[in-house]
């Protein structure tokens, strides 16, 4: 259980301090602070044009902020370019699906493993044995992810022709294939119906458990935010409007005003945990338990912002394996670590 790479549970994975960026005359972000702790799922919400995606782009290195800093596990990474951050463990998705459209699903998942491919360009070009071995491992991991997401049927299909919901899911798979430590998801449920969105929420919880992920999620679908997020930040006009537990944010007057222009607080859809949800949880726990995981505490958000109890205690060491495919995933995913 206590591998050498064990991190103090609850340490800040991502810390954004005083982030500001300006495009011409537009102040897109102003003094934004946010923090994502180990194994947390943190929501980033706000009306359209509030600067959520801009914040993502600053965090992942696509934009360089004018002031402020981005730290990853205590290291200042404000100026690191996107591909360096991807290699560090930042996995991200895009608002409008970021994938290579003319390539197949399998090829996309292999492309996403670029930084951890396990061989250099030269040995690839010359066809040295190590590149062949590494390629087989990449394919195996890609296939495992396809199985995990139930997308095996589109393995060799061109990504371009798939439905939006499938694309969003596959894109999540690509982000997973980058072997992330922290996942940044930009509207993962856009283009999905309510059922699909709920399913995705469950998936995120399972993924966190299995792969020890930390997540920052931009999301509009309120039930999902309430269901999966441990902590929520609200952006409005480039400023941080509020932060807190989802249930608190839900009734925060300023947040409601920002969304609805000063309507009644209860206008924000309040979704309490239903019986059905509880049953789902139980089912999930049972699976986890059956697979020999340590007894997790309840998945529900903790009263204070403390370590997420349900999460594994070692980084990147899936402790819970739910079902056969997940076990297989874990096995193949471990292969790439030399």
Partner 1 sequence: MTLTASRPVSPPADDAHSSGGREFGPIRWLPRVLVIALLAFWVLVVIPRSETYAPFAADAVIFAIVGLSLNIIVGYTGQLSLGHQGFFGAGAFAAAYAITVQSLPFWSTFVVAAGVGALFAALLGVAALRITGLYLALITLVFGVTLQRSLFEVPEFTNGGAGQPAERPEWLFADGRFYLFCLAFLIGVVYIDYRLTQTKSGRALLALKENERVAEAFGVNVTSFKLLAFVLSGAIAGIAGALYAYRIGNVTGDDFNFTLALTFVLMVVVGGLGNRLGVILGATLFAVLDGYLLEEVGFLHSFTEQIFRTPNLAQYDAQFLGALGLLLTIVLNPGGIAQQIQPFTRWLSGKPFSLHGDSESGPAAVEGSHVRA
Q: Which residues form the interface with partner 1 (CB under 8 A)?
A: 60-62, 81-83, 86-87, 92, 94, 98-104, 107, 110-117, 119, 121, 124-127, 131, 135, 138, 143, 147-150, 152-158, 174, 178, 195, 198-199, 202-203, 206, 210, 280, 283-284, 287, 322-326, 328
Looking at the Cβ atoms of 53 and 236, the one nearer to partner 1 is 53
Q: In angstroms, what is the minimal distance from the CB of 315 to partner 1?
A: 19
What's the distance, CA 172 to chain centroid?
8
Q: How far apart are CA 130 and CA 136, in angstroms?
A: 10
Cα dihedral sign, 299-302-308-312: negative
Looking at the Cβ atoms of 35 and 199, the one nearer to partner 1 is 199
Looking at the Cβ atoms of 107 and 230, the one nearer to partner 1 is 107
Q: In angstroms, what is the minimal distance from the CB of 23 to partner 1?
A: 17
Q: In angstroms, what is the minimal distance from the CB of 282 to partner 1?
A: 12
170 with 105: CB under 8 angstroms? yes
Q: In angstroms, what is the minimal distance from the CB of 45 to partner 1?
A: 22
Looking at the Cβ atoms of 234 and 293, the one nearer to partner 1 is 293
Looking at the Cβ atoms of 100 and 300, the one nearer to partner 1 is 100
284 with 326: CB under 8 angstroms? no
Q: In angstroms, what is the minimal distance from the CB of 175 to partner 1?
A: 8
Cα dihedral sign, 92-93-95-100: positive
User: Using alpha carbons only, how large is the chain's radius of gyration in Å?
Assistant: 20
Of 290, 285, 292, 214, which Cα lies nearest the Cα of 34? 214
Bridge partners for 247 per DSSP: none
Looking at the Cβ atoms of 306 and 324, the one nearer to partner 1 is 324
Q: In angstroms, what is the minimal distance from the CB of 297 to partner 1?
A: 20
**210: number of Cβ within 10 Å:** 24
What's the distance, CA 23 to chain centroid?
27
Q: How far apart are CA 331 and CA 240, in angstroms?
A: 41
Bridge-based pairing state of the strands 231-236 and 41-45:
parallel
Q: In angstroms, what is the minimal distance from the CB of 152 to partner 1?
A: 4
Looking at the Cβ atoms of 35 and 135, the one nearer to partner 1 is 135
Q: How far apart are CA 151 and CA 21, in angstroms?
A: 39
Looking at the Cβ atoms of 151 and 234, the one nearer to partner 1 is 151
Report, in this order, helix, strand and coil percent for the chain, each rounded to 5: 40, 20, 40
Q: In angstroms, what is the minimal distance from the CB of 91 to partner 1?
A: 8
């Amino acid at each position: 259980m206590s591998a050498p790479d064990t991190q103090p549970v609850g340490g800040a994975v991502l810390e954004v301090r005083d982030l500001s960026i300006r495009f011409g005359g537009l102040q897109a972000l102003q003094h934004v602070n946010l923090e994502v702790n180990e194994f947390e799922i943190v929501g980033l919400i706000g009306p359209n044009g509030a600067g959520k995606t801009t914040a993502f782009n600053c965090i992942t290195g696509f934009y360089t902020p004018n002031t402020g800093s981005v730290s990853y596990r205590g290291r200042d990474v404000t100026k690191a370019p996107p591909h360096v951050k991807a290699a560090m463990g930042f996995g991200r998705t895009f608002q409008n699906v970021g994938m290579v459209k003319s390539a197949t699903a399998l090829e996309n998942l292999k492309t996403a493993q670029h930084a951890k491919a396990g061989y250099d360009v030269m040995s690839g070009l010359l066809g040295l044995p190590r590149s062949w071995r590494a390629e087989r491992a990449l394919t195996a991991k890609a296939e495992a992810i396809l199985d995990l997401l139930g997308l095996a049927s589109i393995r060799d299909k061109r990504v371009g022709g798939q439905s939006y919901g499938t694309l969003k899911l596959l894109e999540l798979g690509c982000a997973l294939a980058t072997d992330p430590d922290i996942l940044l998801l930009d509207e993962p449920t856009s283009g999905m119906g309510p059922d699909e969105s709920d399913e995705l929420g469950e998936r995120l919880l399972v993924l966190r458990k299995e792969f020890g992920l930390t997540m920052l999620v931009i999301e509009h679908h309120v039930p999902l935010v309430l269901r999966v997020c441990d902590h929520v930040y609200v952006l409005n006009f480039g400023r941080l409007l509020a932060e807190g537990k989802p249930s608190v944010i839900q009734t925060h007057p300023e947040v409601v005003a920002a969304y609805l222009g000063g309507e009644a607080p209860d206008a924000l859809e309040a979704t309490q945990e239903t019986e059905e949800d509880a049953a789902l949880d139980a089912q999930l726990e049972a699976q986890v338990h059956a697979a020999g995981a340590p007894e997790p505490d309840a998945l529900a958000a903790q009263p204070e912002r403390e370590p997420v109890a349900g999460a594994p205690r070692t980084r990147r060491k899936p402790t819970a394996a739910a079902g056969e495919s997940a076990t297989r995933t874990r096995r193949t995913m471990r292969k790439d670590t030399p």
